[in-house]
Amino acid sequence: MTVFVLNGPNLGRLGTREPGVYGATTYAGLVTLCTETGAAQGLDVDVRQTDHEGEMVGWLHEAADLGAPVVLNAGAWTHYSIAVRDAAAQLSAPLLEVHISNVHRREEFRHHSVLSDIATGVLAGFGVDGYRLALEWLARHPA
């Protein structure tokens, strides 16, 4: 089974971006974490990152057409992008919303997600380990 791990804006800058909030793991390190976790769990993992909303919408359409599960860290789009929500709503396989930081301990504007009520589950605050936990859950709950 192929799992899409889709990352939104600024996540390509992990490692240098606000390390006190997002940790020291680089984006390359996150890709390795996801692909190695996937390999250990028998999942084929396709990890992508974009700063462009339309590209993310296209990737979600691709996942919807393939019936593929998605681990989605939509970054700031989480809090306001109806376009990303509408694309994610087309998925038939599980959608796991992941945030590296615990958004509920941060600014008020990060407390609301336009994705959570259409997500299968939400992980926030576990650092990049949230991706590993999401992939392990998907391996145990094949679509």
Q: According to CB under 6 A, which residues from 54 to 113 bind ligand DQA?
A: 73, 75-76, 78, 99-101, 103, 110
7 is in an annotated binding site: no
Q: How far is the CB of 73 from ligand DQA (least distance, A)?
A: 5
Locus of tokens 């391996």:
139
- For residues 13 and 27, is the Cβ–Cβ distance under 8 A? yes
Residue number with CB closer to ligand DQA (66 or 106): 106
- For residues 118 and 89, is the Cβ–Cβ distance under 8 A? yes
Residue number with CB closer to ligand DQA (44 or 48): 48
Closest by Cα among 82, 32, 34 to 60: 82
105 is in an annotated binding site: no
- Tokens linked to 90: 């087309």
Q: According to CB under 6 A, which residues from 8 to 27 bind ligand DQA?
A: 10
- For residues 84 and 40, is the Cβ–Cβ distance under 8 A? no
Summarize as ranges the residues that interact with ligand DQA (CB under 6 A).
10, 73, 75-76, 78, 99-101, 103, 110
